[in-house]
């Protein structure tokens, strides 16, 4: 049977040291740092993390990120990203940990005004979170090549001023727990990326501002909003 459309391109992320990681799906965790849950008006003790998603082709690795349409309140959220090379359903924490192939720095760009309206009206978050170029991401480092732990620093600066700063140990749910929990909802597969939530200090970005997002030991994300 002939295809009605030309072949679609497969989104991918560059791997540190060479190679590409094809992206199947992008999942994101909401409210995984207690101090960010509080700054968004939630009680971290009563609300466990939850999941949303972005389209696979939301990933962007260039040094220029376009300011998206239909918002006047674009926010940055720096996050540890898990890159899966395994998967399955109803994974144990041990099997979930085995599915994690590598780590990257990601920025969960958010149209905060659209998200606030969606929350207010009980509508979906999709277009507040899953727009074009909404997932700037650094090169993926294989987990065998980096030591990530509770003391690892995570940070985001705008025009040289630190806006978000924390450690990975502040996450309410650890990576393996996130993967295990998510696998209760969907079958996870190689190529899935999981953004694991952001520390406090989220805030607006303006055109021409320069963003540097970093996690100790991983490839930095650096871009200008245009």
Query: Does the protein bind Mn ion through residue 109 (CB under 5 A)?
Result: no
User: Which C-beta is closer to Mn ion: that of 117 or that of 208?
Assistant: 117
* Min CB(94)–Mn ion separation in Å: 26
Cα–Cα distances in angstroms (integers) from residue 81 to residues 29, 55, 124, in the given order: 10, 15, 23
Query: Does the protein bind Mn ion through residue 108 (CB under 5 A)?
Result: yes
What is the pattern of x (binds Mn ion, CB under 5 A) and - over residues 170-199? ----------------------------x-
User: Which C-beta is closer to Mn ion: that of 49 or that of 87?
Assistant: 49
- Which of 54, 65, 77, 199 touches Mn ion (CB under 5 A)? 77
Which listed range, 55-63, 76-84, 138-146, 215-223, lies at the site for Mn ion (CB under 5 A)?
76-84
User: Which C-beta is closer to Mn ion: that of 77 or that of 192?
Assistant: 77
Alpha carbon 217 to its chain's center: 17
Which listed range, 45-53, 75-83, 93-101, 207-215, lies at the site for Mn ion (CB under 5 A)?
75-83
What is the pattern of x (binds Mn ion, CB under 5 A) and - over residues 42-71? ------------------------------
Residue by residue, DSSP assigns the chain as: ---SSPPPPPPEEEBTTS-EEE---EEEEES-BHHHHHHTT--TTT---EEEEE-GGGEE-SSEEPPPSS-S-EEE-EEEEEEES--BSS--HHHHHHHEEEEEEEE--EEHHHHHHHHHHT---HHHHS-TT-EEB-PBEEGGG----TT-EEEEEETTEEEEEEEGGGBSS-HHHHHHHHTTTS-B-TT-EEE----S--EE--TT-EEEEEETTS--EEEEE-
* Min CB(107)–Mn ion separation in Å: 9
User: Which C-beta is closer to Mn ion: that of 108 or that of 192?
Assistant: 108
* Min CB(144)–Mn ion separation in Å: 27
Positions touching Mn ion (CB under 5 A) are 77, 108, 198
């Amino acid at each position: 049977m002939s295809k009605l459309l030309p072949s679609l391109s497969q989104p991918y992320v560059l791997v540190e040291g060479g190679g590409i990681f094809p992206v199947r799906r992008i999942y994101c965790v909401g409210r995984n740092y207690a101090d960010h849950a509080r700054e968004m008006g939630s009680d971290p003790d009563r609300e466990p993390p939850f999941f949303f998603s972005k389209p696979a082709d939301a990933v962007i690795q260039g040094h220029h990120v376009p300011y998206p349409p239909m918002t006047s309140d674009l926010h940055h959220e720096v996050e540890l990203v898990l890159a899966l090379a395994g998967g399955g359903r109803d994974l144990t924490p041990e099997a979930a940990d085995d599915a994690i192939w590598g780590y990257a720095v990601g920025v969960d760009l958010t149209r905060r005004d659209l998200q606030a309206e969606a929350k207010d009206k009980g509508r979906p978050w999709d277009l507040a979170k899953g727009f074009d170029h909404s997932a700037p991401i650094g090169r993926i480092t294989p987990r065998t090549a980096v030591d990530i732990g509770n003391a690892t620093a995570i940070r985001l600066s705008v025009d040289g001023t630190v806006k978000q700063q924390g450690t990975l140990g502040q996450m309410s749910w650890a990576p393996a727990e996130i993967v295990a929990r998510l696998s209760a909802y969907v079958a996870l597969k190689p190529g899935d990326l999981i953004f694991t939530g952001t520390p406090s200090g989220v805030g607006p970005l303006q055109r021409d501002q320069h963003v540097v997002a970093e996690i100790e030991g991983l490839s930095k994300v650096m871009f200008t909003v245009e």
